Amino acid sequence: MKVTLVLVTSVNGKLTEGDNTNIYKWTSKEDQQYFFSLIEKSRAIIMGRKTYEAAKHKIKLVPGKLRIILTKNPIKYTNITGQLEFSSEQPKKIIDRLRKENYREVLIVGGNSVAASFLNAKLIDTISLTLEPYLFGRGIHFLDKEISAVKLILFRVKKLNNRGTLLLQYKINRLELKSFF
Ligand SMILES: NC(=O)c1ccc[n+]([C@@H]2O[C@H](COP(=O)([O-])OP(=O)(O)OC[C@H]3O[C@@H](n4cnc5c(N)ncnc54)[C@H](OP(=O)(O)O)[C@@H]3O)[C@@H](O)[C@H]2O)c1
């Protein structure tokens, strides 16, 4: 099973512009098309509770597509079997469960604490990072939580538009990391 972390940031690594939770104000239509094409294809999507709150007006629940929302208080929310699950399980437990249930690809769509916990648990295989040509002062950083060093291999770069939006795709290099330290 392949686990992909998908994020879009400013050039200086911000997931949001200040406190504004609406990222579609500054992300390009080309990145949005790319992101929603991944969502369309994916059968399992994992996100943090705050990302869910920010995006829920755009989320269309459909049979056959499972959204897992991480929260420490899953009891506060109502699950819809096979479509919407609120969970406080450890990342490894979730991934093991999805593997047993024969999911072939899983998308992790943020935010930063979710990215950090899946990276720390070494559960991410590829990272798809779009850089939008902005610098933001305040805002949530892609990774401001403690993580162990991760060595990446860039396998694709694509300029998505004339403004300079870049799609960068990386694999996690687990083998070299072992010999590196
Ligand atoms: N640019 C991008 O690609 C991108 C991607 C994602 C999000 N965003 C934006 O970023 C903002 C939210 O991101 P964020 O990083 O602040 O928050 P987040 O990661 O989406 O949500 C944080 C919350 O998720 C829950 N959580 C996270 N890790 C958990 C774990 N291991 N176990 C159990 N619960 C866990 C906790 O919920 P409880 O408090 O309920 O316990 C925590 O408060 C939104 O505005 C969103 O639009 C941008």
Q: What pLDDT score does 181 carry? A: 46
Q: What pLDDT score does 43 carry? A: 97
Share of the chain above pLDDT 90, in %: 90
Q: What would the pLDDT profile of 63-82 be if each residue is shown by its tens digit?
A: 999 999 999 999 999 999 99
CATH of the domain at 83: 3.40.430.10
Residue 178 pLDDT class (50, 70, 90 cuts):
low
- For ligand 1, atom 3, which residue shows the shortest CA distance? 7
Cα–Cα distance between 181 and 177 in angstroms, integer? 7
Cα–Cα distance between 113 and 90 in angstroms, integer? 13
CA of 63 relative to ligand 1 center, distance in Å? 24
Read off the pTM. Answer: 0.95
Q: What would the pLDDT profile of 147-176 be if each residue is shown by its tens digit?
A: 888 999 999 999 999 999 999 999 998 765
Produce one character per residue of 111-133: b if its CB has 16 or more CB atoms within 10 Å, e if not. Answer: bbbbbbbbbeeebbbbbbbbbbe
CA of 156 relative to ligand 1 center, distance in Å? 27
CA of 100 relative to ligand 1 center, distance in Å? 26
Q: What would the pLDDT profile of 96-147 be if each residue is shown by its tens digit?
A: 999 999 999 999 999 999 999 999 999 999 999 999 999 999 999 999 878 8
User: Ligand 1 site: residues with CB under 6 angstroms?
Assistant: 7-9, 15-16, 21, 23, 47-51, 54, 70-73, 88, 109-114, 117, 140
Give the tokens for residue 160.
Answer: 């998505």
Q: Which atom of ligand 1 is nearest to the CA of 7?
A: 3
Is the separation of the CB atoms in 49 and 28 below 8 Å? no
Q: How many domains does the chain have?
A: 1
Q: At residue 180, does pLDDT exceed 80?
A: no
- For ligand 1, atom 24, which residue shows the shortest CA distance? 48
Q: At residue 179, does pLDDT exceed 80?
A: no
Residue 61 domain boundaries: 2-180
Residue 106 amino acid letter = V
